[in-house]
Amino acid sequence: MITVYHYMAVSAILFSLGTFGVLTRKNAIVIFMCIELMLNSVNLTFIALSRHLGSMDGQVFVFFIMTVAAAEAAVGLALMISFYRNRESIDVDDINLLKW
């Protein structure tokens, strides 16, 4: 029998993987993808719990998260393009103006 905990376990693993990726990768787009991975793991938790509790609210939230993710993708990728134009790179190690 597949329980809600199975899904949540998978979700936890994916979330930790995403965190690891965000912290270790240099390429901004890959970091971006890792964030998407984390978002998706949360989505999975939402839907699993929604089914477990017999309510549609969780799924509606997933719907909203997807919308936000889409908006984020649009803006984030535009930022990267803009940045690449200036620096010829999207390596986060090259982005260090945010100090002092």
Partner 1 sequence: MYDKLWLIPFFPLVGSIINGLLGKKIKNEKVIGGISTVAIALSFVVSCKYFFQLLGDTDKTHESIVASWMSVGSLQVDWGFLLDPLSALMIMVVTGVGSLIHLYSIGYMHGEEGFYRFFSYLNLFCFSMLMLVLGNNALVMFVGWEGVGLCSYLLIGYYFEKKSAGDAAKKAFVVNRIGDFGFLLGLFLLFWTLGSKGVWTIQFTEIAANAHLLESGGVIVTIITLCFFLGACGKSAQIPLFTWLPDAMEGPTPVSALIHAATMVTAGVYMIGRMCGLFAMAPTTMMVVATVGAATALFAATIGLAQNDIKRVLAYSTVSQLGYMFLAMGVGAFSAGIFHLMTHAFFKACLFLGSGSVIHGMHHGYHHAHLHDDPQDMRNMGGLRKKMPITFITFLVSTIAISGIPLFSGFFSKDEILWWSFGSNRGHWSLWLLGAIAAGMTAFYMFRLVFMTFYGEQRTDARAKDHIPESPLTITIPLMVLGVLAVIGGYVGVPAILGGANHIHHYFEPVFGEAIKLNNISAHGSHATEYALMAISVGIAVFGIFLAWTMYVKNPALPGQFVAKFTGLHRVIFNKWYVDEIYDALFVNPTKRLGTFLWRGIDVRVVDGIVNGVGKLVNVGSMLLRYTQTGYVHNYAFMMVVGMLFIVGFYILR
Partner 2 sequence: MELLELLFFYLVAFVAVLSGVLVVSCKSPVHSALALVNTFFCLAVFYVMLSAPFMAAIQVMVYAGAIMVLILFVIMLLNLGADAHRKYTHGVVWGAICGILTLLVTGFFVKRGSITGMQGDVTTELIQGFGHTELIGKALFTDFLLPFEITSILLLVAIVGAVILAKKEV
Query: Looking only at residues 13 through 52 of this chain, which bind partner 2 when binding is defined by CB under 8 A?
Result: 13-21, 23-27, 29-30, 32-34, 36-37, 40, 43-44, 47-52
CB neighbours of residue 34 within 10 Å = 19
CB neighbours of residue 32 within 10 Å = 19
| Nearer to partner 2 (CB atom), residue 85 or residue 99 | 85
Question: Measured between alpha carbons, how far is 13 from 68 in angstroms, rounded to an integer?
Answer: 23
Tell me, by CB under 8 A, how many residues bind partner 2.
72
Residues 37-96 that bind partner 1 (CB under 8 A): 92-93, 95-96
Among 19, 37, 49, 89, indicate the residue that binds partner 1 (CB under 8 A). 19
How deeply is 86 buried, as exposed, middle or buried, from its count of CB atoms within 10 A (0-12, 13-18, 19+)? Answer: exposed
Which residues bind to partner 1, rule: CB under 8 A? Answer: 19, 22-24, 31, 92-93, 95-100
